[in-house]
Chain A
Amino acid sequence: MNATERPDNSAPLGNETKVAAFEIKHTQFLDQLGSALNSLPEFAKDPDELIRLYRAMVLTRLFDNKAIALQRTGKMGTYASSNGQEGVAVGMGSAMQPCDVFAPVYREYGTQFMRGVAMHEILLYWGGDERGMNYAQQRQDFPISVPIASQIPHAVGAAFAMKLRKEPRVSVGVLGDGASSKGDFYESLNIAGAWQLPVVIVIVNNQWAISLSRQQQSLAATLAQKGIAAGVPCEQVDGNDVIAMRYIMERALERARNGGGPTLIEALTYRMSDHTTADDASRYRPPAEVEEQRQFDPIMRLKNHLTHHFEWNDAKEQALQAECSAEIEAAVKRYLDTPPMPAESMFDHLYETLPAIYKEQRDEVMRLGSTAGGKDHG
């Protein structure tokens, strides 16, 4: 049944008029083979810019592979892979300005790297060290957020601060398809609309909320349409087409920056990996579905486009991969060479100034030293 039809298809009894109608647009520039479906935006005509996007996606993918290897060999804790979602992350990152604020979930490494978060910081975080959220080069962005959808109110709150101070900045909040079932998301999306705040909210629809498929999560035809009830402009984009992702993001950011209020974007992608390294997706997801999705890979798509139009070749690819790998290896070394914080550091940032009554507990931790409870990895 179509949601707009009356359940029994009966004729209306009262004076029935249409008071509102909605549609959701979907945007894509490149098909899965990398051919342009229509004319490309200006930035996509510049090969250097496309190679920059391509490099950011490749770096993120190689980082991801390395992080999983570190976890598998006991050198890091549980890790959430972003494999397959690099187009969304890099599209967002390339569209944002440094002064903007980013509130990620935990699969937006591509965006974070473009915004100055260091690879070794992400490794430290998943390696069990809070310093991995103290981004040395990125002081404003929110850290990774584990409680689902809870970061969306933060993005909206940051947008409030920008509007209050009349700053030409925009806040970007990201959530997954699963998180779009949560009240945090609906509540703050609604307020963002009511208060016309400069925020772009991106639902990264990777089709799976751990083991719950997109179809099981909601009867809605799109997740983008969840913005309609809030009166927030909303649209869908092929998130595996980095050109489309960046284009749609740029448009939404520009509108927000110019006082036009919030936008909700649903970026379609696919989680190629397990939910995390602690998950086994084969328990609930048919392997054939994953294989089917390989043809839509965002990196392959842009690579094909570069090969056909901008003389990308194996030699350039190898050089790029070598360069990225060296960068990643340096980050891994820095992570592995970082000694744990002293045990009493757990008191260091509890409050701006530690209340005197906690000094005794801190002293106990210091007295017992870093070896209390046995040695951990790292």
Chain B
Amino acid sequence: MAEITMVEAINLALARSLADDPDVVVFGEDVGANGGVFRATVGLQKKFGSDRVLDAPLAETAIAGMAVGMATQGIKPVIEIQFMGFIYSAVDQIVNHASRMRNRTRGRLSCPMVLRTPHGGGIHAPEHHSESTESMFAHMPGLRVVIPSSPQRAYGLLLAAIRDPDPVIFLEPSRLYRLMKEEVNDDGEALPLDVCFQLRDGSDVTLVTWGAMVHETMQAAEQLASEGISAEVIDVATLKPLDMETILSSVAKTGRCVIVHEAARTCGIGAEIAAQLAERGLLSLFAPVQRVTGYDTIMPLFRLEKQYIPTPERIIAAVRKTLEAS
């Protein structure tokens, strides 16, 4: 079994889906001959043909809208929006059509489509290439929003997303694409959607995070462990629908919670998690819930992106705050 990067794991899951299901079609900007700007689709057009792996003209609205049209005909389109900062012209189609086609036709038509897009900063990219606006989509009824944090989870969750009968926004943390390698068994086994993954068992505090921030959070947990503080780490993975049961039962055990995300704080998914903890888990809390997030600023250009993205130090400081409060 080979150790591969996350971008290779994504490629593997796409190839597996194309091979297993003749209805799967991959298209987007530069995904064919070029193999995608991050190389996530490299080799797929050669292997599966240019009628199933297609370079779309530069037209995000039409790419998303055509996916809706294809999906209603039983095709399973996997589209790529090159960077999350370019997703906005596709939002009309995602929100007004993909998310509600099943509902508005009472199940007559549906949209089994996946929209893949790179997520987040940390790769010294140009302007508009480092966005993390997942809460926009998590707010929309009828969608699934999924974000992996490792090669194995990228493989298993992408397979699950493509097989899911409803539209999935699949966010790929771009700074994880080549950050680490992991053994990935290309066995076609999907991971479950709609559930969190507990990455680290702990008893003093629950750290809830997703995507690239899983790595800073795990580093923080290591550091805390060396000081004798036991942190449980939860990778939310499916941001919508949100598996609050796992988070609530962890907080029932630890009594403290720090939520970490790269996206801006206001109306981030951390706010939803904190609200549900207040509604349903308040009595198990020893300390106020803390959020460590990107700031309510425009994502800065890359000279300052390290100052924007939460660091292990900021996470540890928030954990100390929850420990001091009780």
Contact = CB atoms under 8 A, between A and B. Distances in A.
Interface string B103-121: 1111111100000000000
Contact of A158 (B69, B108, B243): B69
B25 interface: yes
Interface string B89-112: 100110011000011111111100
A156 B66 contact: yes
Interface string A110-137: 0000000000000000000011011100
A188 B93 CA distance: 13
Contacts of A109: none
A157 interface: yes
A139 B97 contact: no
B171 to A, nearest CB: 18
B241 A355 contact: yes
A9 B58 CA distance: 36
Q: Interface residues of A toward B: which range?
A: 35 or more
Q: Interface residues of B toward A: which range?
A: 35 or more
A154 B61 CA distance: 11
Interface string B53-75: 01011010110111111111111
Interface string A143-166: 100010010111111111110100
A351 interface: yes
B223 to A, nearest CB: 33
Given A133-B105, A150-B93, A157-B67, A183 B61 contact: yes
B59 A191 contact: yes
B166 interface: yes
A345 B222 CA distance: 48
A147 B62 contact: no
Nearest to B96: A147
Given A350-B142, A352-B110, A157 B70 contact: yes
A171 B73 CA distance: 11
B52 interface: yes
A261 B64 CA distance: 21
A243 B102 CA distance: 37
Interface string B219-255: 0000000000000000000000111110000000000
B69 A184 contact: no
A156 B69 contact: yes
A293 to B, nearest CB: 32
Contacts of A101: 73
Contacts of B242: 357
Nearest to A173: B69
Contact of A164 (B25, B166, B194): B25
Contact of A161 (B70, B110, B165): B70
Given A158-B69, A184-B65, A351 B102 contact: yes
Nearest to B238: A355
A348 B142 contact: no
A135 B72 CA distance: 14
Q: Is the interface of A mostly helix, strand, loop or mixed?
A: helix
B51 interface: yes
A209 B10 CA distance: 45
Interface in A335-376: 346, 348-352, 355-358
B70 A191 contact: no
B108 A133 contact: yes
A190 interface: yes
Contact of A188 (B25, B52, B62, B244): B62
Given A133-B104, A158-B72, A352-B165, A153 B62 contact: yes
Contacts of A194: 57
A280 interface: no
A149 to B, nearest CB: 9
B106 A131 contact: yes
A154 B65 contact: yes
B73 A158 contact: yes
Nearest to A194: B57
A153 B66 contact: yes
Contacts of A355: 194, 241
Interface in B152-180: 165-166
Given A134-B108, A187-B57, A187-B61, A157 B243 contact: no
Contacts of A191: 56-57, 59, 62, 66
A94 B61 CA distance: 31
B188 interface: no
Contacts of B194: 355-357
Nearest to B60: A187
Contacts of B77: 157
A169 B67 CA distance: 18
Find the residue from B57, B74, B96, B165 having the highest chain A CB count within 10 A.
B57
A160 B61 CA distance: 16
A162 B107 CA distance: 21
Contacts of B110: 352
Nearest to A139: B108
A162 B72 CA distance: 12
Contacts of B102: 349-352
Given A164-B52, A190-B59, A183 B66 contact: no
Interface string B16-28: 0000000001000
A127 to B, nearest CB: 14
A357 B244 CA distance: 8
A122 to B, nearest CB: 14
B56 A184 contact: no
12 contacts: A154-B69, A156-B65, A160-B25, A160-B70, A161-B70, A187-B61, A190-B59, A195-B54, A348-B107, A349-B103, A351-B166, A357-B245
Given A142-B109, A357-B244, 16 more contacts: A133-B104, A133-B108, A139-B108, A143-B104, A153-B62, A153-B93, A157-B71, A157-B75, A164-B51, A183-B61, A190-B62, A191-B66, A349-B102, A349-B105, A351-B165, A352-B166
